[in-house]
Chains A and B, each alone.
Chain A
Amino acid sequence: MTSTYAAGGGLFGLAPLIIIFPLLGLLTNLLLGRRMGERFVGVVACLAVVASFGVAVSQLVALLAQPEGARVVVADWIAIGSLSVPWAIQVDTLSVTMMLMVSGVSTLIHIYATGYMHEDVRFQGDPGRYTRFFVYFNLFVAAMMVLITGDSFLTLFVGWEGVGLCSYLLIGFWYEKGAGGIGNAVAGKKAFVTNRIGDFGFLVAMFLIYTTFGSLQFEEVFLRAEEMGPAGAGALTAITLLLLVGATGKSAQIPLYVWLPDAMAGPTPVSALIHAATMVTAGIYMIARNHVLFELAPATANIAALVGAATALWAASIAVGQYDIKKVLAYSTISQLGFMVAAVGLGAYVAGMFHLVTHAFFKALLFLSAGSVIQGVERGHHHAAGHAPPSSGRAEQAFDPNDMRHMGGLRSRMPVTFAVYCIGALALAGIPPLAGFFSKDEILAEAARLDPVVYILLTSAAFLTAFYMGRQIWMVFFGQPRSGAAAHAQESPIVMTAPLAGLAVLATLGGALNLPQVHSLSRWLGHTLGEVEIGEFRWQVAALSTGLGLLAIGLSWVLYGRRPLAQGADDPLRRILGPLFAGMERKWGVDEAYNFLFVQRYVDLSRLLGDVVEGRFWHDWFHDRVLGRAYRDGTRWLSDGFDLPVIDGAANGLASLTRAAAGRLRTLQTGYVRTYALFLLLGVVAVLGYLLFR
């Protein structure tokens, strides 16, 4: 399937640059950014990503000439015993598709971010963070490229963790903001911890892969898995299930999706790039990359399909009840990721990858437009508040520029944003001929062919998708402004609207990648994914989903468009759906349930371990009582029972013995001459007596 670089075309040798360019960009900004100012930082960061995109294009050109791809070995990385993992870059149609998508979308988002972050750091009152933002952003691109290009599970894992780190850093970018001054930091922590749970699954899967197949490189593992046949079914099911756990963490699927809505605490370009277009698709990419394993484990693939479909419907239902413009999009992202996971679970890898790419286009577009709306409203708010300087009071903190209930009537105030938002929303809703229609329809057609349950779930999700996007558009752009801020909202600068226009074009034309009957993407990815079944276009499926989409948009018009929401009025859905809407609004209480089931239990366990086991048992009882007292008693005995009587006694006893003996002997010294003479005599008598009688 692949050959080494030596056999490939010269262009493949450029592949490592796709990681190196963003790294260079971030190093430059890290060293010089503070000194050189915003413009320099923005240009360097953008150029780094543009260069990456150039490399991706060069790989595309190289692949067109040699579609089987190449493996570019950069360095010997790990060699321990029988484990040998070189750092090699896998250039094949799958990875190059991801490279193009990631670097292309990143480029547009980077350009947008130079404008957005200029405003954002000004609103939030810390211009010094501009540089840091772009350093993280470039780091993210580099890590994502490592993830995509890795030719082994271990390299993929490095990227996997790297993007997780960047996600954490960027969610908590305004770490001092949010509820209670720690809300954003808590959101970052939640994302990181939830991802760790998925990563744990991925890690264990890697261990299992190594023990089962003796290698971590994709190519070898796949070969051995195929050789193994039915004998390895059990191990393969375990491995793929654990990989699926990893995917549910990174790609925000049930049960680990809860971090993604909170991740919206990050600046909007972060939400667009990391939490919509690129990082969260890593799980789908990983499954597609391991399609061989998943094909050999049909049970896991089934579970993946069901998890994806359930997530799609579940998240779509929550999105209906949200008021935060970004939260709606976040749940929409989860829902669309569910579509992709369902697709790869069904074995429709091409459909999944196709939707991944088009989703990146229109979801990035939607998020960036939402960012434009938010900043427009913020500008309007400052205008309405009488040109108050940024972050000047409490009232400012209380105003939430993300709340769709404060918006309305922005159509005339922000015409460009409105236009592109409509394109994004229609693409997401799956209205032809926009990109989302083709990709979503391919998934639905596959589902209809393979699994009716998944099909019903996904179609319902598609219906809800069209409904909540319609609701959002009517609430944000139509009717009368529901706050002074919305009334004075201003359009964003060209540096932000230009990338929006670019993404709008992609969201419109993205469907051309894999048109029915032509199937260019299917053929292209077929080089990597093997001979893929080219799904036939089903008119009835397409007609049904389009009809449902239009119906949902019409329904949303009846509810939100015909009679626009008045200022302070309640959502009309609440009257119709009652407690069902309350459930959607509260996200079905999943956060609370997790909090009760896991977080509180974990806190209880920690408290038990900390207070009872560590505090009372180890510290109070074992250390203080057992060890401390034993030591104290031991030393007391040694001091009172041994040192004082024996050691001191010996020394003192010797002294007093000497003193007593001396006291006795001194009485011999009478000072009288005759006494001495007598002793002399006695001595002489004794000596003579001895000499006589010996």
Chain B
Amino acid sequence: MNVPTEYVLALSAILFVLGVIGVLIRRNALVVFMSVELMLNSANLAFIAFARAYQSLGGQVFVFFTITVAAAEVAVGLALIVAIFRSKHSIDVDQMSSLKG
């Protein structure tokens, strides 16, 4: 079965937009975080799609890097969320607006 690259890219775009909407509208920090993961993975999907379309290994390699960095980011992000929760007893991002001008 040969799925055209356009379809994969469209799926990737849809996933990315979903991630963006999640980041923008959800108040739970964990969900925002997962939406960010969704955006990262939509990008990975786009990499893979192009790697297959151009028969190049570079896209595959980039995805590995992305996954590694995402893992590190998740570690740091979760640690932050835990620290915020400790001080605020909430992970609602709307509660965290002390940088308001």
Which residues B15-56 have CB closer than 8 A to chain A? 20, 23-25, 32
A671, B99: Cβ atoms under 8 Å? yes
B101 close to A673 (CB less than 8 A): no
Q: Determine if A690 is an interface residue (Cβ-Cβ < 8 Å).
A: no
- Chain A residues contacting B24 (CB-CB under 8 Å) are 674, 677-678, 681
Inter-subunit contact B98/A671 (CB<8 Å): yes
Is there contact, CB below 8 Å, between B101 and A677? Answer: no
C-alpha spacing A681/B101, complex, angstroms:
21
A666 touches B23 (CB 8 A): no
Chain A 660-688 interface 0/1 with B at a Cβ cutoff of 8 Å (1 = within) = 00000111111111100110010000000
A668 to B100: give the CA distance in the assembly, Å: 9
Q: Is B10 interfacial (CB 8 A cutoff)? A: no
Rounded to whole angstroms, the CA-CA distance of A674 and B24 in the bound complex is: 5
A residues 27-43 with Cβ under 8 Å of B? Answer: none
**A428 vs chain B, min Cβ distance (A):** 119
Interface centre among A667, A668, A677, A678 (most CB of B within 10 A): A677
When distances are taken between beta carbons in the complex, the residues of chain A under 8 Å from B23 are 674, 677
Chain A nearest CB from B3 CB (Å) reads: 25
A671, B97: Cβ atoms under 8 Å? yes
| Interface residue? B14 (CB, 8 A) | no
Contact of A666 among B96, B97, B98, B101 (CB under 8 A): B101
Q: How far is the CB of A185 from chain B (nearest CB, A)?
A: 89
A671 touches B100 (CB 8 A): yes
Q: In the complex, which of the residues A667, A672, A677 contacts B97, with contact meaning CB atoms closer than 8 Å? A: A672
Which residue of chain B has its CB nearest to the CB of A676? B99
Q: Hey, which chain B residues are within 8 Å of A668, CB to CB?
A: 101
Q: Which residues of B contact A665 (CB under 8 A)?
A: 101
Contact between B25 and A671 (Cβ–Cβ < 8 Å)? no
- Contact partners of B32 in chain A: CB under 8 A: 673-674
- Are B97 and A674 touching (Cβ within 8 A)? no
| B93 CB-CB contact with A under 8 Å | yes
Residues of A within 8 A of B100 (CB): 669-672
B6 interface hit (Cβ, 8 Å): no
B73 on the A face (CB < 8 A) = no
Q: Mark B59-101, 1 if CB is under 8 A from A, else 0.
A: 0000000000000000000000000000000000110111111
The answer to whether B99 touches A681 (Cβ under 8 A) is no
Nearest chain B CB to A623 CB, angstrom units = 61
> For the complex, what is the distance from the CA of A581 to the CA of B38, rounded to whole Å?
144
Do B101 and A667 touch across chains, with their CB atoms under 8 A apart? Answer: yes
Set of chain A residues within 8 Å of B20, measured between Cβ atoms? 681
Q: Is the beta-carbon distance between B101 and A669 smaller than 8 angstroms?
A: yes
Contacting residues, chain B, for A672 (C-beta < 8 A): 93-94, 97, 100
Q: Which residue of B25, B32, B96, B97 has the most chain A CB atoms within 10 A of its CB atom?
A: B97
Distance between B97 CB and nearest chain A CB, rounded to angstroms:
3
Chain A residue contacts of B98, Cβ below 8 A = 671
Q: B101 touching A674 by the CB < 8 A rule?
A: no
- Of A669, A674, A678, A681, most buried by chain B (CB within 10 Å of CB) is A674
Whether A669 contacts B93 in the complex (CB less than 8 A), given A677-B23, A677-B24, comes out as: no
Check if B99 sits within 8 Å of A674, measured CB to CB: no
B72 CB to closest chain A CB (Å) equals 20
Min C-beta distance of A26 to chain B, whole Å: 96
Cα distance A681–B32 when bound, in Å? Answer: 15
Cβ-defined partner of B96 (8 Å) among A673, A677, A678: A673
Residue of B with least CB distance to A665: B101
Residue of B nearest to A673 (CB): B93
A670 to B96, CA, bound (A): 10
Bound CA–CA A671/B100 (angstroms): 4
Within the complex, the shortest CB–CB distance from B84 to chain A, in Å, comes to 11
User: Which B residues touch A677, using CB under 8 A?
Assistant: 23-24
- Nearest-neighbour CB distance to chain A for B62, whole angstroms, equals 19
Q: How far is the CB of A169 from chain B (nearest CB, A)?
A: 93
Q: How far is the CA of A667 from the CA of B100 in the complex (A)?
A: 8
Q: With both chains docked as a complex, state the minimum distance between the C-beta of B98 and any C-beta of chain A, in angstroms.
A: 6
Closest to A674 in B: B24
Residue of A nearest to B27 (CB): A674
A250 and B38 CA atoms in complex are apart in Å by 128
- Residues of B near A667 (CB, < 8 A) are 101
Query: What residue in chain A is nearest B25 (Cβ atoms)?
Result: A674
Chain A nearest CB from B63 CB (Å) reads 21
CA distance A482 to B94 in the complex (A): 132
Closest chain A CB from B5 CB (angstroms) = 19
Closest to A678 in B: B24
- Taking the nearest CB of chain B, how far is it from the CB of A659, in angstroms? 14
A670 to B99 CA separation, bound complex (whole angstroms): 7
Tell me the nearest residue of chain B to A672, going by C-beta: B97
By a CB distance below 8 angstroms, the chain B residues around A678 are 24
Please provide the 10 A-B residue pairs with the shortest distance between their CB atoms, ordered closest to farther. Answer: A669-B101, A671-B100, A671-B97, A666-B101, A671-B99, A674-B24, A673-B93, A677-B23, A672-B97, A670-B100
Interface residues of A (CB under 8 A from B): 665-674, 677-678, 681
Q: A667-B101, A671-B98 are in contact. List 15 more A-B contacts (CB 8 A).
A: A665-B101, A666-B101, A669-B99, A669-B101, A670-B97, A670-B101, A671-B97, A671-B100, A671-B101, A672-B94, A672-B97, A672-B100, A673-B32, A677-B23, A678-B24
* A–B complex contacts, Cβ < 8 Å, 11 sampled: A665-B101, A669-B100, A669-B101, A670-B101, A671-B99, A672-B93, A672-B97, A673-B32, A674-B32, A677-B24, A681-B24
